[in-house]
Amino acid sequence: MTDTDDIVWDSIKKRYRAYLNMHGDRQFLGYFQTPEDGYKARTASAWLHVYDFADYTDDTPQRTERYPRCP
């Protein structure tokens, strides 16, 4: 889990909201059932933004149709 406010509980929708903070901007990623799902979406989105600076290891996200630029 993340220690920041990237994954927050929405008491009205009864779901978790995920955000990605990049360069002072906060991008809304969507609503999720669990904080772990929100964290996975946040991680995948971060990979799209930092693809060129990433340290590629065995636990990097796999390529998918939704995130084609992920290693």
Instruction: Report the CATH number that the domain containing residue 60 is assigned in CATH.
Output: 3.30.730
Q: How confident is the model at residue 46 (pLDDT cuts 50, 70, 90)?
A: confident
Query: Of the spans 4-8, 47-51, 62-66, which averages the highest pLDDT?
Result: 4-8
Say yes or no to pLDDT of 63 above 60: no
Q: How many domains does the chain have?
A: 1
pTM metric for this prediction: 0.62
Dist. CA 55–CA 8, nearest whole Å? 28
Say yes or no to pLDDT of 2 above 50: no
Boundaries of domain holding 33:
1-71
